Amino acid sequence: MERYQEIEHSLHKKFSKTIWNRFVGSIKQYELLSPGDRVAVCISGGKDSMLLAKCMQQLQRVSDFPFELKFLVMDPGYLPANRALIEENAATLNIPIDIFETRIFDVVYKVNNNPCYLCARMRRGWLYTEAQKRGCNKIALGHHFDDVIETVVMSMLYGSQIRTMMPKVHSTNYPGMELIRPLYLVRERDILRWKDYNRLRFLQCACRFTEHAAQDEQLSKRAEVKSLIAALERGNPQVGMNIFRSVHNVKLETLIGYTTYDGLQHSFLEHYNR
């Protein structure tokens, strides 16, 4: 058995409940794929996007309906060693990657305030553009369950609002394009276990100036929230799931105010005496 086949086998055996079933569950529960979709799986080189690519590749082989995949890797100005590691991992996993180059790092390196946010925005735009060029109607990103619950908590603590990271969204700037997150129900700890079990080494951060990015406020706040949730889960293992379910079960009558799809702000007083 080839190494990539052993890795595939682990997804369907040892990690069937914790990764594969939850991956498939995300696809079905949130209706992320449709017949005829052309999906650009966006690979950054980290553990999450590499796992996503492998799962999407496996799903394509057993799916009840046809869809097409492109495996996009954007080189924003990686150090040669980082790019080589991505190419090596793609070969190990038997994933046929399509690499395109940008100079995003050259731009972001000159920014003092919130460089990671700007980098993420620019990356997203390039990924949409290159996906469209290849005839795709969706891009798939590797955000997982923990990213979702961290976003919920961060929005409350630092954004004065209740919001979540959605499993899929329509692009506002690229008509006809959607973004999907097939690892939506997969815990990060299980991704780490999969990585370690298969003796894989991925990029921690593909940024060529990590020492600067590590000081970015958004990153430090997310790390702070991650630690907070982990501490709470040590006392109550259901904390993470409770956070996740909270935005699936919002009671409008218990909110002081809320904003509807049309952008209008509403108050509980509108219905209080009715």
Residue 72 has pLDDT above 60, yes or no: yes
Domain ranges of the chain: 3-209
Class of the domain covering 3-209: alpha beta
Residue 1 has pLDDT above 90, yes or no: no
Give, as one character, the DSSP assignment of residue 38: E
How many CB atoms lie under 10 A from the CB of residue 160? Answer: 7
Two tokens at 229?
């949730």
Q: Which amino acid is at 243?
A: I
With beta carbons less than 8 A apart as the criterion, state whether 77 and 110 touch: no
Beta strands in the chain (DSSP E): 38-43, 68-75, 97-101, 138-140, 168-170, 178-180, 257-259, 265-267
Residue 209 confidence (pLDDT)? 55
Q: Which amino acid is at 102?
A: T
Which tens digits make up the pLDDT trace of 179-190? 999 999 999 999
Residue 118 has pLDDT above 80, yes or no: no
Mean pLDDT over the full length of the chain: 92
